[in-house]
Amino acid sequence: MMESMDLRPYDTVYVTQLKLQDAIFVSISPVESSFFALSAPKAVLEEHLKQYSSLTRGTTIQITHEGITYHLRVNRIETEHCKDAECASIQDTDVS
């Protein structure tokens, strides 16, 4: 997390609570084409997304499968009320 936010140890971080809408659609693309060589990339992605409670458009998330780390870019997020949301909750939701 610190790497994705370009933070160093002892940096000051200000946190604000925000109520996120639930995502109904998320577009994610792998940075490395080797992700598509997995026998079941969709299943791998779905399993690892359970570790995330929310996603933010434009960020890159990491998943590690069988000792290999893959980077995936969050391209687009839709909620019930916003077709181009900046961020959304994916916890306990059925996202397509």
**pLDDT digits over 6-55, tens only?**
889 999 989 999 899 999 999 999 999 999 999 999 999 999 999 999 99
pTM: 0.82
Has domain 23-89 been given CATH number 3.30.420.40? no
- The strand order across the sheet containing 68-79 reads 23-30, 68-79, 60-65
In degrees, rounded to 5, the angle at the alpha carbon of residue 78 between the alpha carbons of residues 74 and 81 is: 150
- List the chain domain ranges: 23-89
Task: Give backbone dihedrals phi and psi of 66, rounded to 5 degrees, phi first.
Answer: 50, 45
